[in-house]
Structures are given as structure tokens and as C-alpha cells.
Structure 1
Amino acid sequence: MIEINFDKLYRYPRIAEPCTICIPVEKGKIYSKDNVCVMQDGKPVPTQAKVTSRYDDTSIRYLFVRFMADLPANKGTKVYCELDCKDVNDNPDILCTESSTGIEVDTGALKFKVEDYASYIFKEVNDGNKIYTNENFVGPYLKEADGTSYDIELEEWNIIECGQVCVSLCTKGVNVSKDKDKKIKFEIRINAYAGKPWVELSYRIINTSMEELDIASLVFYAKADSSSRLSDIMKPMNFDEKPDSTGCGDIMTDNTSCTGPVFHTRGTHELELFDEKAPVLDVRTMVGSSNYRTDFYIGKNGEEVNRHIDAHYLMKEANEHFAEVLYGTFFADRTDAKGGLCITVYQAQQNYPKAVKSDSEGIAVMLVPEGEDKVIMQPGMARTQKMLMHFHAADEKILEIDNRSLIYQMPDRPYISPEVFKNAGVMPDIFPDKLNDDVEMFLIGRADEHARCYGMLNWGDTWDSNYTQQGRGNGKTVWSNNEYDYPHSCALEYARTGVRRFLDYLLVSTEHQMDVDVCHYSDNPLRIGGQWEHTAGHCKNGIMVCSHEWVEGLFDYYHFTGDERALTTAVGIGNNILKLLDTPMYAVPGEANARETGWALRALTALYVETGESKWIDKCEWIVDSFKKWEEEYGYWLAPYTDNTTIRVGFMISVAIGSVMRYYRVFPREDIKDMIIRAVDDLIENCMLGCGVFYYKELPSLQRLGNNTLLLESLAIAYELTGDVKYLKPGIKTFDKTIDSKAATTNGVKKIVDDAVICAGASTKGFAQSFIPVITYYKALSENGLY
């Protein structure tokens, strides 16, 4: 039985709250998910399990488990997962009925239909209060800056999951220009939950053209009725707002003498007033956004209310949250005598520009509002935006509408003990038995220190100040593009600590990687599916090389979310690596640096472990063989530098060592082990300065003090292979120097740079590059009493 822990979070109880957890499983323990069940207070709760990975003996390696739990107010709780439960919950699955024209879903609280080859998302929605038809939901409609406007055409709908907890549907489609000359693809996903009156709608737009897509607007409408007029024009909201100088969100408002037609209030203390002041019989409109407490605009008689977020707005607003976990909420609600609908945009501030409007005609959700900041998508770039559509009764309290909106922005995320991951053996051994406070604080500081970079195309990535200052972006900001597999390090740190924000870091960065950092469309086959190297504009004038394509974080994301798009993306990157390895650049061993084929080997090995497909292994054998030939040709793994030099580059050699070791762990062989040890011996003998730290590169012009922690991983690997502590001692000064370094501050000046608001902090590269080396070396030191 596996304990699943919930930390204290909300002041109100959540009954039958949909939750998810990733469960790693020891090899050979179970082969079927049929008896997996979550228990609370000794009773099974609705559970829906999905296998995301199997071992080579077909036993289950990872489970993604959905379940529904009762979560108490203002305190934590525990539930338990049984892998072979004798008392499985017998609740019926959500009703999903496929027909020749579409799919019909009944969750017990909502009934809805989607239709194949339609020009709308929903054919019908029935929430028990109102029946909405396809005429109520319009778009999202795309319009370009040059005036080109688009209609939408859907393809077939498919069921991804359907069980006791959740149903997930998806379709693809195209934005078709009015003259039919241009088509921009998109994907739509709907997630609905048993007994819940809401659905999550995910919209992913993909620039399937070889030109920049300059988006003027992208708007989804929920119309009051078929005769409602569509408009995304917003009238000014003229309220004299006082600044929140305390930073606590406690500026009070007084609406006792206000007669409307629009009311403004902060927090929840006045909300009961508006049942009388803005009755739903005459149509109540509402928008809300929050930083600390929610800031409401409430209109009576269908009066328009709206909110917008742009770069200048964000520059004026302070926020102390870890923004991956929460910035605030952002929603629009329209309620009449029959019922209401609230639409919340997920992480709207982080993905600015955004706007919402509610009036007598309905709700307009502006994923890109016209006349605000630029959103220009490069060829092959994608971006996903999500929203929660909460259908509710006319008498639903505003407090509850706001509460569900906030929970959507920061859902309950349970965690399991690090021992479960350690005992399952599904991750590298990053679980020291003895913890050192200084090392733990260093790792936490490095994980948290990254800059938060807002903007629809930037959120989930960070700028790299060193690359930018070196001029690698030709004067433009260079984005790190998740270099060194930042999501993977976040997943490992979450697994070993259970601290939820590290999981949120994984989710946000991987979602950006899947959308922006990967090429979804190109006229060059060597680009499709591949990941862009760090560059200006994320991919503008970028290149693809094997040393900058990562898949392990994508697999982590798949295990923690069950979202198969991460698996598909990883396979696409793997296929791109295979194509690149067949190009002349990699034909001769030693003509590319050790990092290039090293990272390729790491990715391909991970793909084999996750999928079991042999096609990934053929190229792995070729890479290992090329390292052997390389060593035979040059004596060591030397890298070409100037036209007439080949030099040792310690951190690149360490990438190769780490990658070959990952292959060795799957396919252990003495010749590979010996080759790794020779490479580490060479590093110790030739790459250290007299002061006891490693140098940067071998040339006299480059032998400055090195601060790259990748060499520590090489030492830890040699210790793992030999058990000899002599391999640990050369790294102690480098380790001490690293641990003593201060994390970059995240408190500082914000600035607007092109389409981004960049907050203070470092590149994610620092944590991504250092985490595995530091944690593996630290573990080896601690178990030998050296730290």
C-alpha cells in the first residue's frame, strides 16, 4: 500500500475532488492495472489508472492514477493506493457514446455532444439548468494583423481516456482563411470529470506555414443566445483604484451606497451584497482577476465588465508567488435566471496578453486580444492555451464561483514518499541516506533562482544572460530552450523531496518545450520534430544539433500527467536525432565534439527504456563504437577547436561519460566500463589545475578556473563502477566551491523585452546542468563519510 499525501491548502473542504498521482512500480510486481485502487478511510474511491511505461518483461513500470478524494478544510490528509486491491470501487465509468457523427458524454453533472467535421466545438451542452447549442459557442476565431480572418473546420473526435474519474476527448482542425488560400492547424482537447459541472478546454494553435503568423486576435465566444452579437471591443473601465501599497491585498471597498450599474470590490467580504444589487434575474455580469485577493467588477442588467492584461499592466503589479504554482486567477462570468457560465483562463497573467469580457450578449475570452501586445509565431511553432468552463445554477454563490476558479489555477497536488521512487528503481539513484542541510539549501536555491519570463510564447522558458551578452542572438535576447533538460532535473528534485513547486516547474517548462521549442512544421525534413538549440526568438535563425535535444523530461511529464503528447514529442525528437546522425557532420569519429553524440546516446537510450523499441538501440551501438574509434584515433576524447588543435574540454567529455554510463546501465559490458574509467582517469590527470579545481578548456588561452559541475558526475560514475573513493577526492574543492555559491536573486527590476516581461533571476540552465552531477556526487560523498 502506497501512502499519498496532501498538504494543507484551502480553507474550504473539497468533496470528491479529482486528483492525480504518478506511481512508480518495482519490476515484476504487477502486470495489470485492473486491481489498482485508491482507498480513503478504508473505502475505495473512484479510481482510473493508466499504464505509461512497462519493463522489458511487460510488468508495469509507471502508473498514472486519477482518483477522487474528500479533502478537508485547512489541513492535510492521506489516502492510500493499493496495486492489487480486492475491493475495487465499482462506480460506473463516465458514459461515453460514440456514433457515426460524433461523441456524446454524460458525466452525471453535464451532458455534452461533439460532432465530427463541424465548425464549432460543442454541438450541445446540458448542465441541468440550461441547454446550450452549437450557436452558443463560437470559435476560437483567428485574425491576423494584415486583416486575414479565419473560420474553423474540425476533423473527427477521438476518445483518449474514459473511466470512473475523467473523460478526455481530442480532435484536430484547421483555421481556414475566408478566401481558402491559407490553413493554420490547431488541436482541441476536452477534459470532463465525474459529477462535476465543468470541463477544461485546451486549444493548441500551430503555425503550419513558412511565414510568421502575426496574430491580431484569437477569441472564443460563449453567446447568450443565437441572436447575440459577437464583439471583442472593450469599453474603458473607469474606476479610481488605489494602489495596494501594503502588498497584502487588503485594500477595502465599500459598495453599500453604490447603485451601479458596475460595482468594484476586492476580496469576498462584500459579495453577499450583490445578490440584491446585481440580481441574476436581470443578468449579472462579472469579471475577476487576482494577485492576492480577487478583484471583481460586477455589472447589473447585463452591463459590460471586462479585464485585460498586457505588459504594462504586469510591470505595475507586484507578485510574491512562485508563478509556476500560482500568480492569480482571471475569469469572466455571465449569469441569468436560468443559470450561468464562468470561464477561467489558465495562467493568464503568465501567458499575457489576455482579456475577458462579459455583457448582455455573452462572454468573450480573448486568448489574444486585438490592439494589445504582439504575438508573432514563427514557422513550425505551436502554443497551447487552456480554460475552465464552469456551468452553474443561477443561485450559485459568487464565493463558490471564485473558489473554483482559484482551485483551477492551483489544484491540489498530492505526493508520495521519495522511498517509493527509490525502491522502484525507475530513476537514477539520487536518494542519499544522509542529508546535508547546506547541500539541500543549495539545490533548493538553484531550483528556485530562475527568472520568470511572462508572455504567451515565453512562459516556461528563461532568457540566458551569458548567451545574450556574448551576442549569440545578434543583439536580441537568447532563450535557453530548456538546455540540459531542465524539466528532467525538476522531476528528479520533486521525486526526492515531494515539494510541489518542483512538479509545477516541470509542468510549465515541458509544456513550453512541447509547443515552442519543438518544430511542428517545416519544408526541411531535418527540422520536423526536432528541438531548437538556444537562440533568439526561441527558434528564429536557430539550428538543430544532437547536443541540444532532450527527451527524459518529456517522459517524466508523461508519467506525471498521463498526457501522451509528451511521449509523441519525445519520439519525434528521437526520430530527428536519428536523421541528424546520418548527416556528414557525424560521419567521422572525432570530427564533432564529445557532447554531440553523447547527448544523442542519452536520448536514444532513454527512448529504448521507455518504449522497448529496438530501432533506438542500433544507433546507440554505432555511437558507442564511434567513441571507441575516437579513443583509438586520438588517444583520448579530444574535441576539434581551432583549425590546428584538438583539445580536452572537460565538461563535454563528462557529457559523453554520463551518456555512455546510461547505456552501460542498460547493457553492461566490461569494454564499456573500462573505456569510461580510462576517460575519467584522463580527466583527473590532465584537466586539473594546481589549486585543486578543473580548468575550463585545455588551451593556454582557456585554462581559467572551471565551475562546471558536470565533471563531478564523471567522478561519481567512476566511483559507482569501481567502489574506489580515490575517484571522489579530486572533486571535493569543486563541490565545496559550488555549494558555497549564492543563488541568483529573484527580487529585482522587471523589464519589457520584445514580447516578454522578464523578471529578475538566472537561466534555468544553471540548475539543469548542475543538479544530477551535484546530487550523485553528494550521495557518493555522504555514504563514504566525506561530507
Structure 2
Amino acid sequence: MKIHFDKLYKDERKNELLGIGVPFPKGELTLKEYERLAVIDSGKIIPSQIKITSTWEDGSIRFIYVRFLGTLPGNAAKDFVLVTTSDMIDNSNVFADGIDNNLVTRTNTAISVSNGVFNFRVADFQNGPFQELSYEGHVFTRNQFIGPVLKMDGYVFSPIFELWQIVENGPIFTIIEASGHFEDNNQRLSGEGIKFTLRLSITCDKPWIEAAVRIFNCTLDTIEPDELTFEIRNTGKDKVIPRTTVGISNFKTKFETSDEGEEVSKTITAELLEREANEHFAEVFYGTFLADVSDFGDGVGICATVFQAQQNYPKAISASSDGIKISLLPDKNRLMDISNSYSVRFESGMAREQRFLLHFHDAGEDLYELNNRSIIYQMPDTGYVDPEIFEQAGVFPEIFLPQKEQIDDVEIALIDKADSHARCYGILNWGDAPDPGYTSQGRGGGNLVWTNNEYDYPHAMYMMYARTGIRRMFDYANVACWHWMDVDICHYNTDPLFVNGQWEHQKRHSGNSEPGRGTRGIMACSHEWVEGLLDHYHFTGDERALETAIGIGRNVLALLDTPAYQVPGEIGARETGWALRSLTALYIETHDKKWLEKADWIVGQFEEWNDKYGNWLSAYTDNTTIRVGFMISVAVGSLMRYYRVDGSERVKQLIMKAIDDIVDNCRTPNGLFYYKELPSLARNGNNTLLLESMAIAYEITKEDRYLDYGLKTFYKQISSQSGISFTKRIVEDTVMVGNGPTKNFAQSFLPLTLFYVKAVQANKLLQ
């Protein structure tokens, strides 16, 4: 299996840490064969670390995540090969010589890490991250690494690191994570206070550590931090005067340097971003943001790079002879003097992670090399496998076509639709976009209404990436998932019906908190998805995505047990329809029958609902029950996923009855589907979800007429204008670039692509 890396940087990257998620068809790769996998470069086995992220119900491998150390050439593409046939593997050489299989060792209360370049130790129930750290003979003491430190309402809240755990360990890469809280001796904080995690990622033989600080507002109130910082203090400044540097880039990196150890600093504000021209797709790359002190003693320096700092503004960095200060949230009082957008409000239950790289180096290291690593950190090399691999694996629906059968105009339109959405900078907004329709309708009471990944935007993007290999689709999905897991999930609430659930689209992502009561936003089964999170786990290896998806599933189960969902037909088709989709996906992922048992219950409700009204009609005015075609299509799409697992005739008949009802009653005379079944609402519809229903009907019956019903809608959607805009404006707490909600692509991709594939197979579309 070929793993392809496109040309990217002009210099060679030697033994670069690379990673990729790879799917396998049911029954192809057993556990025994998995143990003999290897990555090959020019006929030689290179160091790799492979973990299983998903299995099929028969126990065979469904997805693996592969990390490996590969050398990439300058200004050229490169292919590696994942070997999956055991007769090509020599077990004695699965890992290169010199790779230690134990980067991490654990005692009762401490973890020690040694990666061949530096050594450090962390311990439970301490007030700092490192007990000690040594690099190239220089020892950093525990009081040199300070943070994360939170300042709020004029008070300083220091961190208490409670428990460290080993998240992932192997011969080339390890992750350890601490959970903790900010000390509140004077009990100024309500609820359970403010919690945090610190995640450290380490690669064998590399002189850098990635640190990720994630804070959780577990109070009952909205909080507005004054500052959130991490510092590396220089205790060797009396022995040597270091060079101090900060750098910020958009196109070329602009450095500010002092050879006398004077303080240099940079701050990113909304106004700076609004004024600065930038032509990149910012999910892939905007620029970099670094601070360097060349010598902390013994000729050892540290360069700190904040990941996607511009996108997650406000940010600040400074370097001086006293050390490096990373302001993940800059001093609010100072920001007030230079910016009108200085406040960051965390609603109750919100979380947010920010990442930075600590690059240890020799004092004489050239700035070019430090900047080079900083930029690579912002935009790492990313590989992909051929779309045929995903098609053969059967892990996604039928969204693939051989290249010779693809229609250029359709493929171009799908790419344009994927690119056409607003990018919204800001620490709590990056990875999401508001819906202008919802906002103008007043659903946010005059505020922006954020989509909160409505219709599962990451799932659509990961499928688009799988079928095209276009790098930015992967980055679009990742950025959205990072936001989703933090901001769009309720991490704390006194009401268990909110905990771990995904907020419905609303202002400030979760609605405002009520002082002393926590957040009381909207939580509904019709707006809780999991497939994109499961994809994120498979494509990145980040186990937190799986944990988040399972948490959402538990929230859905709890909501389905409330009285509102007990009477068939009293809730719209999409409510339990989306729930069925999420529960089915969780069953496929985990094989836990509790998900399927509740899915069976939902199917039974659909049957009762159909018997009650003759079809799936929804209450609208006090005296009407109407057909809502796109909501019925949500239920049809979810039932089809269930049918592929269950395979029962009764489910197939239920699906076809609903689709035939749409065909008979939900179309306009000119061949389009209408919006809703009332004279006041029967306007031309533009919802693509009905195309998914037509594609499903064709899949089940092989009758061309179902494709004919959808052709007008398909052509209308494909020919609709999509455009990329770089117009910027400051709105509330975001710098918004371009227009359009992410939900447009989330809603349309799968219906359009399923219909497209079926229509090509049936010779219904003109080349």
C-alpha cells in the first residue's frame, strides 16, 4: 500500500515524524498479520509505531494509525510503502537499530521520559510541570517552567498537577498527560472551579516537546480571564547575555532581535489581523509565531512556537534575558490599550486547548533553522493513500468513482463547495462559522448564531479528503474537530442531561450562562453527531475524539429517555433520525449492543408513527400535520445506515414507503422538491438531503425513476455559484474572513456525492 507525500518544503526533512490513518476491508487483516506490519522506504524497513483504532465485528482490523520516522526530500514528492503481507517482513528488522522501546517509565507517583536527546521527570500532586529536565548536559530546575498560570479578576490562580498518565507509548513517540486544577484557596470560584490538562508529546531523538494546555470552565458562571501564561525562566542570565528574538510571519517571517538580552515581544490582536493581507487557507497555514532565548546556560537555548496563534488570537509572546513568556491569553489590561476586542468569555462548561512547541537547541543555532522547524510545526507534512484504498475497505458510503468516470464539472463544483465557507479567527471561534440565515432570523437575539458543526461538517470533509487526497480537506476537518471537542461540548453542568452533550447552534456556541446556575442552552438529539469525531480518531490517532463521541452517545441515550421522546410522532423525523445515525455509528465502532438496543427502539417508534398517520407527518400549526421532505430524508438516511447493519425486510419496506411518499407528495410541477407541505411554505426547495433519499431508493430497487426525480435538484445545486472570499471584518469576538456557514457543505456533500455516483453508474449524467 503506497503512502504518498506531496512536494512541500525546499529542504530535506530527515527522520521526520509522520503519521497516517489507514483502513482495511473486513477480514483482510488479522491481529496476527497486524503484528507483522512495517513501513518500507526504498526497500528498507524504517522505524514505525502502529496502533489499532477500529475493528470489524469479526475481529479483523478496520483502521490503524501508523506513525513512522521517514526522510522527505527537498522540493520533491515521496512515496513510502506499508507492507501488509507477512512473507515480506523480517521480524528482526521491524524497528531500526538504536530505537529504545521504552521512552517512558513509571513509578507509583512519577513518570520519567528519555528520548535519546533529553530526559525529564514529572510527578503527581506538584505545582509545576517538570521536576527536572536535562538537555545536552544542561539541567533545568523545576522552578524554571512556570505554568499554566491563570489570572482573573486581579487574582492569580496557580496550577496543581494532580495525576499524570501515559496516554500513548512506543518506540518512536509518546504522549503523557496531567490532569489538574487551578488553586482557589479563597474559594472565589463557584461549582468545581477551573480545571486543566497539560499534554506533552515527545518524539524519539528529536530536541522538542509539544505542550498542549486545555482549560475547562467547571464553574457555574461565565469567566473572563485576565491572562493565561506559560513561562520558561532563565536562571543563567548572570553568566551569559543571550540573544533574544521574536518572530511573526504571514509570508516571510519578520524578526525582532536583541543581542543584549533586552525584551522583545509581539502581540496578535483583532485589529492586526483585520489589517494584514493573507491569501492562505488558514486551516492549513497562516504564518508562525515564535520566541527564542539563545542561551539559558551551558550553551542551551529554547525556541517556543505557538500553534496557529493568529487563528486563535489574542496571543502574545516575549523573550528577554529573564526567559520566555507565552501568553495563550495576553494581559487583558494591556490589550485594552491597543485593541477593542480584548475580552475572551468562557461560558460555563466550555473548554479550549492551545498548543506550543518547545524546541531545545545549541546557543549558536541559526535563526533560519529555528524558523524552519517553527513553520513545519505550523504546517506538517501530511500523507495520503489512494481513494481506492478507502473504497475497497468499505468504511465510507459509495462516494467513490474511478477517475475515468468522474465528471470534471461536478468534481470542480464539489471542491468549490468545500472551500466556500467563512473562516472565523478567535480562540473560542476558530474551527466554526456562524449561520447568516439563523443570525438574520434573530435566533441569537441580535448576536451571531454559531453552527456548532451542524450536519457533521468534519465527517463530510474527511470523506472528501478520502475521495480526493486534497490536503486542505484534511485540515478543514481537523480544525473543526478541535473546536468541536472543546467549545461545542458541555464539559460541566449541574444538570446531567447536558453533560457530554453537543450544543445546538446558538449564540456564543452554548448560549449564555445564567449567573450561579451554569449554561442553560439548547441540547437536542437532532443536533448531536459522532461520525466526524470517529473519523478524527481514525485519521489522527487522537483517542479524545473517540471519548467525545461516546460521551455524546450517552447524552443522546439520556435525552431519548425523557418524556418528550416517548410518544411516536410528537417529535419531528429528524430528532430521532439523527439520534439513530449516531447510535448506529457508535455500534459499528464499538460493537457495544447498548447502542443497537436503543436504535431498535427508535425504529419501532418510526413504525408506530407511520401506523398512526399513515406516513411520517409532523405537527406544525395547531391544526395541521405536514410532510417536511428534508426531515423525512434525515430519517431515511439514518434508517439506511441501520439497515446495512440489521438487513431486515421490515426496515427496507419502511424506508421505501417513506421515499415513495416524498415522491408522490413533495415535488413541484417543475421537477424540484418543495420546502414544506403548506401553501405558505411550498416554495422551491434547495435542500440536498432529498437526493440522498433518491440515491438510497435506487440502491435498493435499481429503478432509474428515482434518479430521474432528483436530476433537477442535482443540476441546480451543482450549477449554483460558490466563491472564496478573503474580505475581513471584526464582528463580536471574531475576525470573520469570507462568508457562508460550514453547514452548507456538511449538509450537501453526502447527498450530492451519493446521487452523483449512482447517476453516473446509471448513465444519467452527461460528461
TM-score bracket for this pair, using the shorter chain length: over 0.9
Aligned residue in 1 for 2:75: 74
Please list the CA deviations of residues 571-597 of structure 1 after superposition, one character each: whole Å capped at 9, or x if unmatched: 000000001001111110000000000
Kindly report which structure 2 residues correspond to 1:495-574, keeping only aligned pairs within 5 A, or say none: 495-541=466-512, 542-574=521-553
Q: Is it true that 1:605 corresponds to 2:584 in the alignment?
A: yes
1:757 to 718, 724, 735: 735
Equivalent position of 2:517 in the other structure: none
The yes-or-no answer on 1:154 pairing with 2:123 is no
Secondary structure of the equivalent of 2:656? Answer: helix
1:381 corresponds, among 350, 353, 357, to 350
C-alpha separation in 1, matches of 2:178 and 2:324: 24
- Which of 401, 420, 433 in structure 1 is aligned with 2:389? 420
CA–CA separation in structure 2 for the residues paired with 1:625 and 1:180: 50
Contact 2:689 2:751 in 1 (8 A): yes
Aligned residues of 2:116 and 2:204 also touching (Cα < 8 A): yes
Deviations 1:400-442 (Å, cap 9, x if unpaired)?
0000000000000011000001111111111023211111111
Matched, 1:779 2:757: yes
Partner of 1:274: none
Normalised TM-score (structure 1): 0.92
1:728 is paired with a residue whose SS is: helix
Tell me the equivalent position of 1:237: none
Secondary structure in structure 1 of the residue aligned to 2:539: helix
Q: Which residue of 2 aligns with 1:670?
A: 649
Q: Secondary structure at the match of 2:309?
A: coil
How big is the shift at 1:755? 1.2
Residue 436 of structure 1 is matched in structure 2 by 407
User: How many residues align structurally?
Assistant: 733
The letter of the residue matching 2:329 is V
Deviation at 1:310, TM superposition (A): 0.6
In structure 2, what is the equivalent of residue 137 of structure 1? 145
2:659 is the alignment partner of 1:680: yes
Runs of 4+ in 1 over 4 A off after TM superposition: none
- C-alpha change, 1:297 and 1:502, in structure 2 (3 Å) is same
Asked if structure 2 preserves the Cα contact closer than 8 Å seen for 1:710 and 1:773, the reply is yes
> Does the 8 A contact of 1:136 with 1:226 survive in 2?
no
Cα deviation digits, residues 512-547 of structure 1 (max 9, x gap): 000000000001110000000000000015201000
Q: Indicate yes or no: 2:432 matched with 1:473.
A: no
For 1:625 and 1:424, locate their aligned partners in 2 and report how far apart those are by CA, in whole Å.
Answer: 31
CA deviation after TM superposition for structure 1 residue 627, in Å: 0.5
Deviation at 1:130, TM superposition (A): 2.0
Question: Equivalent residue for 2:101?
Answer: 93
CA distance in 2, matches of 1:101, 1:84: 42
Provide closer, same or farther for how the CA distance between residues 226 and 150 of structure 1 changes in structure 2, counting only shifts above 3 A.
farther
> Which one-letter code corresponds to 1:141 in the other structure?
V
Q: Does 1:580 align with 2:559?
A: yes
Deviation at 1:684, TM superposition (A): 0.7
**Offset at 1:180?**
4.5
**Unaligned 5+ residue runs, structure 1?**
229-279
The aligned counterpart of 1:340 is 301
The 2-side partners of 1:181 and 1:298 are apart by: 41
**CA shift at 1:747, angstroms?**
3.0
Residue 467 of structure 2 aligns to a residue whose secondary structure is helix
Matched with 2:338 is: none
Distance 1:545 1:23 in 2: 33
Quick check: 1:552–1:603 contact (8 Å CA) kept in 2?
Answer: yes
> 1:298: which partner in 2?
257
The one-letter code of the counterpart of 2:350 is M
* CA deviation vs aligned residue, 1:62-91 (integer Å, no higher than 9, x gap): 001100101000000100011345122253
Match of 2:422 among 438, 442, 451: 451
Q: Is the 8 A contact 1:94 1:108 kept in 2?
A: no
Where do 1:573-652 residues align within 5 Å?
573-652=552-631
Alpha-carbon distance between aligned partners in 2 of 1:404 and 1:535, rounded to the nearest angstrom? 39
- C-alpha contact (below 8 Å) 1:744/1:761 kept by paired residues: no
Identity across matched positions, percent: 50
Structure 1 residues 129 and 328 mapped into 2: Cα distance closer, same or farther (>3 Å)? farther
- Native 8 Å contact 2:569 2:618 kept in 1: yes
Counterpart contact for 1:188–1:203, Cα < 8 Å: yes
Q: Is the contact made by 1:639 and 1:648 (CA closer than 8 Å) also made in structure 2?
A: yes
SS at match of 2:248: strand
Partner of 2:276: 317
**SS, match of residue 36 in structure 2:** coil
Match of 1:368 in 2: 329
Q: 2:54: which partner in 1?
A: 53
Contact 1:287 1:298 in 2 (8 A): yes
Is the 8 Å Cα contact of residues 22 and 559 (structure 1) preserved in structure 2?
yes
1:184 paired to 2:184: no
Secondary structure class of the residue paired with 2:105:
strand
Q: Which residue of 1 aligns with 2:225?
A: 215
The 8 Å contact of residues 224 and 361 in structure 1, kept in 2 or not, is answered as yes
CA distance in structure 1 between the aligned counterparts of 2:213 and 2:639, rounded to whole angstroms: 40
Question: Hey, what's the Cα distance between the residues in 1 that align with 2:103 and 2:677?
Answer: 66
Cα deviation 1:435-473 (Å, max 9, x = unaligned): 111111111011101100000000000011000000000
Q: Deviations over 1:64-121 (max 9, x none)?
A: 1100101000000100011345122253324211112311111111211111111111
Q: Which amino acid aligns with 1:328?
A: G
Q: Which residue identity is paired with 1:168? A: I
* Alpha-carbon displacement from aligned partner over 1:14-34 (angstroms, at most 9, x marks no partner): 000000011101111223232
1:169 alignment partner in structure 2: 176
Q: Report what 2:314 is aligned to.
A: 353
* Residues 102 and 156 in structure 1, CA contact (< 8 A), matched pair in contact too: no
The counterpart of 2:675, out of the listed 674, 679, 696, is: 696
Cα deviation for residue 726 of structure 1 reads 1.3
One-letter amino acid of the counterpart of residue 528, structure 1:
V
Indicate the larger mover: 7-16 or 636-645.
636-645
2-structure distance, mates of 1:113, 1:106? 9
- Over 3 Å counting, the alpha-carbon distance change for 1:227 and 1:89 in structure 2 is closer
CA contact (8 A) 1:202 1:387 kept: yes
TM value normalised by structure 2: 0.94
Alignment-mate amino acid for residue 115 of structure 1: A
- Native 8 Å contact 2:729 2:735 kept in 1: yes
1:650-699 C-alpha deviation (Å, 9 max, x unpaired): 10000000000000001101111011111111101100000110000000
SS in 2 for 1:141: strand
Which whole-Å CA distance do the structure 2 matches of 1:216 and 1:29 have between them?
Answer: 55
Contact kept, 8 Å, 2:400 with 2:757, in 1: the verdict is yes
Q: Distance in 2 between matches of 1:391 and 1:590?
A: 62
Q: Distance in 1 between matches of 2:434 and 2:236?
A: 46
The alignment partner of 1:376 has SS state of: coil
Question: SS of 1:195's equivalent?
Answer: coil
1:330-379: per-residue Cα shift (whole Å, max 9, x none)? Answer: 01000126110001000000000000000010000000001321111000
Measured in 2, the distance between the counterparts of 1:436 and 1:568 equals 39
1:633-658 deviation line (CA, Å, top 9, x unaligned) = 10111111111111000100000000
* Equivalent AA in structure 2 for residue 81 of structure 1: L
Q: Name the counterpart of 2:518.
A: none
Which residue of structure 2 aligns with residue 727 of structure 1?
706
Query: 1:406 aligned to 2:375?
Result: yes
Q: 1:84 to 1:128 in 2, by over 3 A?
A: farther
Aligned 8 A contact 1:94 1:194 in 2? no
What corresponds to 1:199 in structure 2? 209
**Cα distance in structure 2, aligned partners of 1:306 and 1:191:** 26
Counterparts of 2:491 and 2:726, CA distance in 1: 36
Which string of whole-angstrom CA distances, capped at 9 and with x for unpartnered residues, describes residues 314-333 of structure 1? 11101100000000000100
CA positional deviation for 1:394: 1.2
Does 737-746 or 556-565 show the bigger shift?
737-746
Deviation (angstroms), 1:300: 1.2
Contact 1:96–1:162 (CA under 8 A) maintained in structure 2: yes
Whether the aligned pair in 1 keeps the contact of 2:294 and 2:364 (CA below 8 Å) is: no
